[in-house]
Amino acid sequence: MKSRTAFAIIASTVILASVVATSPVVYAASYSFELTATGQAYDYRNHVYRDVVISLSGTGYGSLTWYTWLRVASGTATVDGYGTFRITGGWSMLIQRYHYVYLYIRITPLYGGPITGWYIRGTTRVYYANEIPSTLSSRYIILPTSPYTILYNLRLTGEITLS
């Protein structure tokens, strides 16, 4: 019984050591970032496409060759026909190695009111000169209006600028 336990401990140590040895070295850094994106979403209530503009900023931490966590601090979202909304926070995960970005932002009216959350995912292209071009999408977004308005098939293009 003792030999099995000793073997299990040695085997798990060897496996753990091999995983650590083959993991890539990730150098973490802190970033400030800005995301600006424009596009459209479909308004089924009025049967028209609405222009959508998102501009937000925040800070991030991680490696651009592996993954970066981004914390959204503030920004604005403008929807044609519905006005400008305030972005009060959120978070994002940028996995540049796989050219993927996932974004969650909290939206409120400019002067207070209900809060809604937008979940947006997308792809990124090659990182060049502190800019990461990106294409973002969501099946639907809910505007914090009274009554709530749902816009479908959000498609945005823009870039993430790091400093």
Question: pLDDT by residue (tens digit) across 39-76?
Answer: 999 999 999 999 999 999 999 998 877 888 999 999 99
CATH number for the domain including 85? 2.40.128
Strand-pair partners of 118: 105
Compute how many other C-beta atoms are within 10 angstroms of the C-beta atom of residue 3. 7
Domain region containing 44: 29-162
The model's confidence at residue 13, banded by pLDDT at 50, 70 and 90, is low
Q: How many domains does the chain have?
A: 1
Q: How far apart are alpha carbons 4 and 137 in whole angstroms?
A: 53
Could you tell me the two tokens for 5?
A: 């336990």
Q: How far apart are CA 96 and CA 66, in angstroms?
A: 6
| Residue 47 counted as domain residue | yes
Look up the pTM and report it: 0.80
Does the residue 17 lie in any domain?
no
Residue 121's identity, in one-letter code, is R
What integer pLDDT is reported at residue 119 of this predicted model? 96
Residue 121, SS3? strand
